[in-house]
Amino acid sequence: MTERSYRIGLIRGDGIGPEVVAEALRVLDAVAEAEGFRIETTDYDLGAERYLRSSEVLPGSVLGEIRSQDSVLLGAVGDPRVPPGVLEIGLLLRLRQELDLYVNLRPSRLYEGVPSALGGVTPADLNLTIVRENTEGLYAGKGEVTLAGPNEELATEVSINTTQAVHRVTEYAFELAAREGRSVTMVHKVNVLERAGSLWQRVFKEVAADYPAVPTAYSHVDAAALLMVTQPRRFQVIVTDNLFGDILSDLAAGLVGGIGYVGSGNIHPGGLSVFEPVHGSAPDIAGTGKANPIGAVISAGLMLRHLGEESGADRIEAAVASVAGKVAGGQAGTREVGGWLAEAAG
């Protein structure tokens, strides 16, 4: 029997990125050892340093090499020395587009002992997964700036919504909900965004018909923001467009202890996918050893599930659940928390 082995590309990136990726790798090594598979890593030097040195963000040759990996683990990109948008659009959004990573999977779960921004909630109240469309909407880069006259600019940002893209992401949300016995809520703003909203609604109904056992609901995005705070139990799986998903996933992170406690997957089902903590590069605490590695470790768990290593993924989830409260309650640093997680997962 051949040993299971996975080639993992690493984009450690900027700020706290390398620190949290190092801890995710310790945890992955412990799980690999316990489960009997191998992880082979390849580093890709991408992010602010490379850009400042060479003006390159994601050269085609590097993208080509990345395509040969089984998965990618990314730390964070962003640096105050680089103008906003350069790395975000040139690296993160480009990877999502080029690799057709059409699902942005963002689970938010409140762990025992982690304080929520909401009072009086328990872990049973907060376990929701946002399935965010990750290739189009307002992120498609369509729009223009025209000059209507001196000092009269007209800027448009066009939201692209195709039946195909909405269908595939909705199907992913239903598959997930069916597997886990959960409901799916579509979040949009169909009362104002009539064209895109009607397309989303029609596709949602069509896909829902194939999953009669999955309860469904619809919520306008503004109401969803309110209800996530006042009645979070209403939500289990949310499927929504790119920008709504971006905003609501930060809100969800706030409800489960903060951006340090959530991970994500940029997923092309069955194909090469990119896993990253939801937090950014946090330059203010880079190098201090204070970064919370939990988001990166959760992302590594999502990666194992995507690779079919279910039992390894379960180990990581259980390790995070057992350690998170201790992290929230104390002063432990990045390395120490990584050590606890590796120990619990191994």
Residue 290 is a catalytic residue: no
Give the Cα-Cα-Cα angle 193, 225, 295 (nearest 5 degrees).
115
Residue 246 is a catalytic residue: yes
Cβ(302)–Cβ(105) below 8 Å: yes
Indicate the residue whose CB is closest to ligand IPM: 88
Give the shortest CB-212-to-ligand IPM separation in angstroms.
33
Closest CA to 300 of 72, 52, 41, 16: 72
User: 88 or 314: whose CB is closer to ligand IPM?
Assistant: 88
Closest CA to 233 of 131, 120, 317, 132: 120
Site string for Mg ion, 191-230 (x = CB under 5 A): ----------------------------------------
246 near ligand IPM, judged by CB under 6 A: yes
Q: Which does 92 bind (CB under 5 to 8 A by kind): Mg ion, ligand IPM, none?
A: ligand IPM
Span of 54-62, 180-188, 241-249, 311-319 interacting with Mg ion by CB under 5 A: 241-249
Distant-in-sequence, close-in-space partners of 34: CB < 8 Å, separation ≥ 6: 312, 315, 345, 346
Structure tokens at 9: 């590309």
92 near ligand IPM, judged by CB under 6 A: yes
29 near ligand IPM, judged by CB under 6 A: no
User: 19 or 246: whose CB is closer to Mg ion?
Assistant: 246
The single residue among 79, 171, 241, 246 that binds Mg ion, judged by CB under 5 A, is: 246
Distant-in-sequence, close-in-space partners of 111: CB < 8 Å, separation ≥ 6: 123, 256, 257, 261, 320, 321, 324, 325, 328
Kindly name the residue from 139, 172, 241, 261 that is annotated as catalytic: 139
User: 14 or 246: whose CB is closer to Mg ion?
Assistant: 246
The number of CA neighbours under 13 Å toward the Cβ of 114 is: 27
What is the rounded CA–CA span in Å between residue 342 and residue 338?
6
| Interface ranges with ligand IPM (CB under 6 A) | 88, 92-93, 246
